[in-house]
Every structure is written in structure tokens, then in C-alpha cells.
């Protein structure tokens, strides 16, 4: 039942708070909207819209629907599984693999591979995103958790939303920073000039925090530091966050086709050894790897921490760079 507090809020906003208080389910606003659209949430036994204003005394009924049968054909694609139990699975996602299907990509995704290897995935993410509670960019590799039950899915969403998770990335970047460690804080939102890109230079966006640490720098005589290995630890998880923050700091990622991509005549490209340039050109995308993922198991409460080995292309490039380590 709706009390007097918050009745000026939209239904979707108010129900996020109400459902968490009453059931402990920490659903996102978009998940609430899906339930409203399918009449799984009713008020006084009538369907509503997300923007409906609830009144004190209204009776809210919530029905969590059974997951729909997935209309996605499983695909036999090799997956490196770092951990698995009846609640969740942690994988080392390959570079070049999109996480879930979309209107523009209907096959060849991580979800297709998961459905081949696993018998069950949580259904809250929807038909196209079963078990998916977070994503890595297509060309970002590394540790990623996928849920197998709805209970684990809801709990993992809460863990991510509260930032109770350790996420550390390795990034191979142009040049080397003067700092050893630095915290980068900004807003991140859609680039108004190019909606496919994200940007820090926005008036409206979401707060993003990345702690970066220089691990190694690579030098050439007469050129100085031409590249570096940087660790990026996420406090938040915004779209393209590591790539945007490091590019903004002057250290775009090797191989990134979107942010800070050099031309063949730019100094930062010409300063690279020929072997390194050749290896970068063979990369499918940015040299970014989700190295560490740590969290408390949402059901057993066991402390879990995983280190994912980088893919072959990343490791080959790193070996070449280390020839120039001081």
C-alpha cells in the first residue's frame, strides 16, 4: 500500500523504493518499467503507466513473471570459465565478442555461447540479455560475471549499484603519465556532436570515478616514453569510462578506433617502434583488459576474487613493449 510519502513521484520512481523496502528486491527503474508495460505491476487491480502518479492508499500488486523461453539459438563457442556454481558463472570474455544480441546483431554473441554451455540463466535481463548484469565493450576482454538465477541477478544488480565490487583493468596507452597515481572524476554522457561516443565535456551526465596507476612505461632513445601500461580501477561503471577518462588525461588506448585514434602522420604514432605499430594494427580494437573482478557472492557470502589472463593479441603486444622497459 502506498503511504503519504512520495506520492508526488512518478510510479516507476516510487516503485523502485517501495519494492526494495517491501521485498528486498533491488530492481532498476528500467526493470520496473518493463513490469509496468507487461501489466505485471497493477495499482488497485488496474494497469498503469510509468508516469502515473500514485495516491496514498493505493494498493500495488507485483507479479514477477516466469522467464520467457529464449528464442536464441545456442552456439558452440569456446569459453574460459573461471568459476561456476548453481547461482552464477564468471568468465574471461574474449576480445571481439559482443555481450548480447541486438537489433543489428542477432548471432555470434556471448549470450549465444552461454546458452550452449549453461542449462540455465536468470531471466530478469529479458530475452536478449539473460543473466547479464554488466557488460564489457565488444573489443574489451576479461573477467565478467553472469547470473544463473533470478535471486542472484537481483543481488548482483544491488552489488554493482552500490559499487561493492573490485574492478581493475589493464590498459596499454600512448605516452606515459607524469603521475604515478591519480583519481579522475567527471561527468560522462553522450557526446552531443557524435551520439555514438561518450564524453566528459557534457552539461548533463552521470558521475564517473576512475583511479589510475602507472604500472610500466616504455621508452625509446631520443623519443622518451612512447607508451605505458596503466591500471584503471573503477569506482563507477559508465559506458566507455576507462577509454574516455584515459583519453581525457592524454593517454588514449593503443588500438582504440574511436577515442584518440592517431593518423599515420601523428607524432604519437610515429614514435612507436615498427614492431609495435604492426601489432597494434592487428588488434581487433582497444588494448583494454578487465584483469581483476572481486565481490562477495550474492548468496553464499563467500569472498570471491578472480584474475583473468589477457588474450593472445594483448599479451603479444605487451611482450613487444616490454623490450623497451627501462
Query: How far, CA to CA in Å, does 309 sit from each of 206, 229, 291, 306?
Result: 31, 15, 7, 10
- Looking at residue 133, the DSSP 8-state letter turns out to be S
**Phi/psi of residue 227, each to 5°?**
-160, 170
What gap in Å lies between CA 137 and CA 227, rounded to an integer? 22
Alpha helices in the chain (DSSP H): 11-23, 29-37, 110-117, 150-161, 241-248, 267-270, 274-281, 312-321
- Beta strand pairing status for 288-296 and 141-147? parallel
For residues 289 and 280, give the distance between their C-alpha atoms in angstroms, rounded to a whole number.
15
Whole-number Å distance between alpha carbons of 301 and 273: 48
Instruction: Verify whether residue 137 is a known catalytic residue.
Output: yes
184 vs 198: CA distance, rounded Å = 16
Active-site residue identified among 12, 58, 137, 150 = 137
- In angstroms, rounded to a whole number, what is the distance separating the alpha carbons of residues 162 and 146? 18
Q: Which residues are tagged catalytic? A: 137
Amino acid at each position: 500500500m502506498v503511504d503519504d510519502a512520495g506520492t508526488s513521484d512518478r510510479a516507476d520512481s516510487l516503485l523502485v523504493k517501495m519494492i526494495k523496502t517491501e521485498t528486498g528486491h533491488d530492481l532498476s527503474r528500467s526493470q520496473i518499467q518493463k513490469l509496468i508495460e507487461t501489466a505485471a505491476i497493477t495499482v488497485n487491480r488496474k494497469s498503469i503507466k510509468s508516469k502515473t502518479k500514485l495516491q496514498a492508499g493505493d494498493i500495488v500488486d507485483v507479479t514477477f513473471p516466469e522467464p520467457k523461453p529464449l528464442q536464441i539459438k545456442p552456439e558452440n563457442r569456446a569459453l574460459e570459465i573461471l568459476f561456476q556454481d548453481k547461482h552464477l558463472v564468471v568468465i574471461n570474455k574474449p576480445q571481439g565478442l559482443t555481450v548480447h544480441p541486438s537489433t543489428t546483431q542477432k548471432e555470434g554473441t556471448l549470450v549465444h555461447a552461454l546458452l550452449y554451455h549453461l542449462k540455465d540463466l536468470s531471466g530478469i535481463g529479458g530475452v536478449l540479455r539473460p543473466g547479464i548484469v554488466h557488460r564489457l565493450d565488444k573489443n574489451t576482454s576479461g573477467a565478467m560475471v553472469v547470473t544463473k538465477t533470478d535471486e542472484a541477478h537481483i543481488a548482483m544488480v544491488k552489488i554493482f549499484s552500490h559499487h561493492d565490487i573490485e574492478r581493475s583493468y589493464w590498459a596499454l596507452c600512448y605516452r606515459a603519465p607524469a603521475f604515478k597515481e591519480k583519481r579522475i572524476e567527471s561527468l560522462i554522457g553522450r557526446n552531443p556532436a557524435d551520439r555514438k561516443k561518450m564524453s566528459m565535456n557534457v552539461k548533463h551526465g552521470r558521475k564517473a570515478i576512475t583511479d589510475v596507476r602507472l604500472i610500466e612505461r616504455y621508452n625509446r632513445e631520443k623519443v622518451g616514453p612512447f607508451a605505458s601500461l596503466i591500471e584503471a580501477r573503477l569506482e563507477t561503471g559508465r559506458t566507455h569510462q576507462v577509454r574516455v577518462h584515459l583519453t581525457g588525461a592524454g593517454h588514449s588506448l593503443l588500438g582504440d578506433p574511436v577515442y584518440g585514434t592517431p593518423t599515420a602522420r601523428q607524432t604519437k604514432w610515429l614514435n612507436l617502434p615498427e614492431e609495435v605499430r604492426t601489432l597494434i594494427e592487428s588488434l581487433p580494437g582497444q588494448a583494454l583488459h578487465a584483469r581483476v573482478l572481486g565481490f562477495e557472492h550474492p548468496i553464499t557470502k563467500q569472498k570471491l576474487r578472480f584474475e583473468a589472463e589477457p588474450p593472445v593479441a594483448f599479451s603479444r603486444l605487451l611482450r613487444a613493449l616490454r623490450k623497451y622497459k627501462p
